[in-house]
């Protein structure tokens, strides 16, 4: 193994001289800690789960379109009645809602982040105690055990077979053996052994301080939904500039009418081009998703994880800690080759006492054999997921010496050994079996298992999670393939999965026989559901193989052996009780350790993406018809048919209010890619039909009406057509109908009828239907447009089936 570690410049760092920051074996004293805090030598990197309040306000207020609308709003306040300035108040209200919802999400995330925060063990005044990361000071003696993550840079002070994985920093897959004086870099984590290191760089000076902060930060990156909306807004900006320029020239120069009225109609043509509520609604939908999941003790460390898990079609599950609970029970100790049972129990007790940080298997042995006697440990070989066994050498009570190994029987024993037959029978019952073997040589030998003599089988019973079966059934029902990837014996893992009713569990596969070639490996993984004896590197390779076939992969885990796969998966999910390293790299942490929470996360993601895709069509239909109406007005050299108040009314009733409810409705459809393309397939034909129908009504009304009040009558007729066509778009998007969706659509229609019926509302919105012919003509054109809309949507659905 090679010794590799990097400092912030990419160079190998020199260990800081121990004399500069070293602490005695008992750690710093309270007085020394206080002195260093006073000097500012404290790990003060702000680890936060969300944007600050100031950042939230700036992100919601200081946007390109808010600036444009703000200027137009101020202009309207000066030159037009208050009714034509309503759009500005709507924007203010929307921005306020966005700020409040994201602030609520921030509070939820911050509270959950405190629960899930890493608390390293620091030795002070000779006593080990857990402290928060921000309380570590320069020179602190920080203890390490399997799964612990180094949160600051330092130098190894104590090492007991300490092996550290630095792959997240260097890309080096092999763990690095650390000895006193070697550097430890923040962001690395312990895979085996234990020890302690002295903090030599804290705060922002530490190499991976940024990693620790970003690992639990509320982010808006790598989101197809977000990037898709940004792309749409970019196109809208390009369309808006020439369209607005032509409209301004047409209304202010060519028509040469009343300046204030022309200006109002010009602004009325510009404002609806901007899909201003779409960004807000997306933010609100995500924020509410975070709040809902937070109530279920689910910490979303990266916001797009909600979206990402909704796109997942393969979920890779680690057995231990996911399908089974962490604890185990020893049900039987079966001596082999005539071994003395009492002596075997003494060996097991001594092995348990030799490890200060036992894993779940060893803890079960300790619970069953608490009396370790007076055996002395002379050498230890910590458990490693790559080796699949641990070991220790002892001086026994009678003065003798012996060395022992404890681990996987099929790794420690050669093929054909009689003990493997017993192991297979036990594994078929879903039991976990460890082999106790006397080492044939030194533990420090290249292959400590060579010549090992089997002494006893230790049978462990695993505790199944009561909700795991229902969760697996949910994934099967949702067409999400579940793959169990475990380091345990394949037959045992398969038996556990069978007990939970997992499809395909009756044919488990041993990962040691998987082909190394990626495509062949992917094909094998797609065929089978359960894999055992998987090494940490293999887990990573299996995730990559599935991704190479176009799968979106989620990986769950809680142990240090899952870290690399969690990091590489599209979505990493860690249990709250998992190691620091797994919690740091995962996008989602299930703080209550409940695998049953995953369906809620999937459902929340599907709700957000599916509903935003629906309502985005509403917003972009408005953008398309607004641009086309402006172009038609310029080409025909007529007055723009609407004042801002008319479009504010239409937008509120056909888009704003219904979109809010539709965005928060349940939605179980699996998210599909190509957000922009799918939305525009429907928005463009819908916008074209709406614009054509509206302008046709407007031209008919211009032919029918003459004299004072004609423009108001023309506008009213065009408004009726545009409202009815927009309502039909809403009715299509609201499908499949439920009682509340029908009520929602009907309520919006009723509100419009109230505006047309109540005199003071007619005056307020400048809407007055004159005569019978033109209003019914407007309705007839709208009905014809609705029929064309139906045909267009069905043709698009057939041409581009989902």
Which sequence positions are flagged as catalytic? 318
- Separation between Cα atoms, residue 150 and residue 139, nearest integer Å: 14
Which residues make Cβ contacts (< 8 Å) with residue 254, sequence separation at least 6?
Answer: 637
Q: Encoding tokens for residue 644?
A: 């801002």
> In 134-185, which ranges are continuous DSSP H helix?
167-170
From the list 161, 172, 198, the residue with the least C-alpha distance to 183 is 198
CA distances from 177 to 5, 185, 383, 565 (A): 12, 13, 14, 22
Two tokens, residue 81: 């009645």
Angle at the Cα of 620 from the Cα atoms of 618 and 625, rounded to 5 degrees: 100
Which letter, b or e, does each residue of 481-500 get, where b requires 16 or more Cβ atoms within 10 Å of its Cβ? bbbbbbbbbbbbbbbbbbbb
Alpha-helix residue ranges (DSSP H) falling in 64-189: 64-79, 86-115, 167-170
Q: What is the H or E stretch that residue 554 is in?
A: strand 553-557
Residue pair 276/95 in contact (Cβ under 8 Å)? The answer is no
- Alpha carbon 756 to its chain's center: 47
Q: Helix, strand, or coil here: 649?
A: helix
Q: Quickly count: other Cβ atoms within 10 Å of residue 397's Cβ.
A: 12
**Cβ atoms < 10 Å from Cβ of 713:** 22
**Dist. CA 753–CA 720, nearest whole Å:** 10
Query: How far is it, in rounded angstroms, from Cα 766 to Cα 744?
Result: 25
Count, residues in the chain? 802
Query: For residue 399, which of 379, 369, 370, 378 has the smallest C-alpha distance?
Result: 378
Element (H, E) at 776: helix 773-799
In degrees, to the nearest 5, what angle opens at C-alpha 773 toward C-alphas 772 and 775?
Answer: 70
Backbone angles phi, psi at 506, to 5 degrees: -75, -5
Q: What whole-number distance in Å separates Cα of residue 492 and Cα of residue 427?
A: 4
- Strand pairing of 432-438 and 481-485? unpaired
Query: In this structure, are residues 397 and 375 in contact, taking their beta carbons and an 8 Å threshold?
Result: yes
Alpha carbons 143 and 130: distance in angstroms, whole number: 10
CA distances from 740 to 139, 613, 666, 722, 744 (A): 63, 20, 12, 24, 6
| Cis, peptide link before residue 736, omega less than 30° from 0 | yes
Nearest C-alpha neighbor of 566 from the set 297, 316, 302: 316
Nearest Cα to 189, choosing from 171, 212, 163?
Answer: 163
């Amino acid at each position: 193994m090679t010794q590799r570690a990097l400092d912030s410049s990419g160079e190998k760092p020199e260990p800081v001289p121990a004399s500069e920051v070293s602490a005695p074996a008992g750690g710093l004293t309270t007085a020394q800690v206080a002195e260093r805090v006073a000097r500012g030598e404290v790990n003060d990197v702000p680890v936060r789960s969300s944007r600050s309040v100031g950042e939230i306000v700036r992100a919601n207020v200081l946007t390109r379109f808010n600036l444009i609308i703000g200027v137009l709003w101020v202009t309207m306040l000066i030159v037009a009645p208050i009714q034509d300035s309503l759009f500005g108040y709507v924007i203010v209200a929307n921005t306020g809602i966005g700020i409040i919802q994201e602030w609520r999400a921030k509070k939820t995330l911050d509270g959950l982040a405190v629960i899930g925060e890493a608390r390293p063990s620091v030795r002070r005044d000779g006593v080990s105690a857990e402290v928060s990361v921000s309380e570590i000071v320069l020179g602190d003696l920080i203890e390490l055990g399997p799964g612990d993550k180094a949160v600051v840079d330092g130098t190894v002070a104590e090492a007991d077979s300490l092996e550290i994985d630095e792959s997240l920093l260097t890309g080096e897959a092999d763990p690095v053996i650390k000895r006193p004086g070697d550097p430890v870099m923040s962001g690395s984590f312990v895979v085996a052994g234990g020890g302690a290191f002295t903090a030599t760089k804290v705060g922002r000076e530490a190499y991976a301080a940024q990693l620790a902060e970003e690992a639990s930060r509320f982010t808006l990156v790598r989101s197809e939904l977000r990037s898709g909306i940004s792309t749409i807004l970019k196109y809208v900006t390009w369309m808006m500039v020439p369209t607005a320029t032509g409209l301004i020239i047409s209304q202010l120069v060519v028509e040469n009418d009343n300046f204030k009225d022309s200006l109002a109609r010009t602004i009325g043509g510009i404002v609806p081009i901007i899909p201003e509520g779409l960004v807000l609604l997306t933010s609100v939908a995500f924020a509410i998703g975070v709040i809902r999941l937070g109530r279920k003790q689910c910490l979303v460390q990266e916001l797009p994880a909600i979206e990402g898990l909704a796109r997942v079609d393969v979920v890779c599950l680690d057995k231990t800690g996911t399908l089974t609970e962490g604890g185990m029970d020893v049900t039987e100790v079966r001596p082999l080759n005539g071994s003395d049972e009492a002596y075997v129990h003494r060996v097991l007790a001594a092995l348990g006492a030799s490890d200060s940080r036992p894993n779940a298997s060893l803890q079960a042995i300790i619970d069953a054999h608490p009396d370790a006697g007076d055996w002395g440990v002379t050498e230890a070989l910590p458990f490693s997921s790559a080796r699949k066994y641990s070991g220790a050498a002892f001086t026994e009570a009678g003065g003798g010496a012996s060395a022992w190994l404890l681990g996987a029987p099929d790794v420690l024993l050669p093929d054909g050994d009689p003990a493997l037959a017993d192991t297979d029978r036990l594994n078929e019952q879903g039991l976990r079996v460890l082999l106790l073997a006397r080492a044939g040589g030194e533990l420090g030998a290249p292959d400590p298992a060579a010549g090992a003599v089997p002494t006893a089988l230790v049978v462990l019973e695993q505790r199944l999670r009561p909700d795991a079966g229902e969760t697996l059934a949910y994934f099967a029902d949702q067409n999400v393939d579940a793959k169990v990837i475990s380091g345990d014996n394949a037959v045992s893992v398969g038996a556990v999965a069978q007990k939970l009713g997992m499809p395909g569990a009756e044919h488990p596969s041993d990962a040691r026989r998987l082909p190394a070639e990626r495509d062949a490996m992917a094909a094998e993984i797609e065929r089978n559901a359960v894999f055992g004896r998987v090494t940490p590197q293999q887990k990573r390779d299996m995730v990559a193989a599935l991704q190479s076939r176009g799968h979106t992969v989620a990986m769950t885990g809680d142990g240090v052996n899952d870290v690399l796969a969690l990091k590489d998966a599209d979505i990493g999910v860690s249990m709250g009780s998992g190691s620091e390293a797994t919690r740091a790299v995962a996008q989602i942490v299930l703080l209550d350790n409940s695998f049953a929470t995953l369906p809620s996360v999937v459902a929340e993601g599907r709700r957000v993406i599916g509903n935003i895709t629906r309502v985005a069509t509403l917003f972009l239909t408005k953008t398309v018809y607004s641009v086309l109406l402006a172009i038609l007005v310029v080409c025909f050299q007529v007055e723009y048919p609407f004042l801002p108040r008319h479009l504010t009314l239409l937008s509120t009733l056909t888009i704003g209010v219904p979109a809010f409810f539709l965005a928060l409705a349940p939605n179980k459809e699996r998210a599909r890619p190509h957000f922009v393309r799918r939305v525009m397939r429907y928005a463009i034909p819908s916008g074209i039909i709406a614009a054509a129908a509206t302008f046709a009504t407007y031209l008919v009304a211009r032919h029918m009406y003459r004299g004072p009040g004609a423009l108001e009558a023309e506008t009213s007729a065009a408004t009726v057509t545009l409202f009815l066509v927009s309502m039909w778009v809403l009715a299509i998007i609201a499908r499949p109908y439920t009682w509340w969706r029908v009520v929602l659509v009907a309520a919006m229609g009723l509100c419009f009828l109230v505006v047309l019926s109540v005199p003071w509302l007619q005056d307020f919105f400048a809407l007055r239907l004159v005569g019978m012919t033109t209003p019914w003509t407007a309705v007839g054109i709208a009905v014809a447009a609705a029929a064309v809309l139906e045909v267009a949507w069905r043709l698009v659905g057939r041409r581009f089936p989902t």
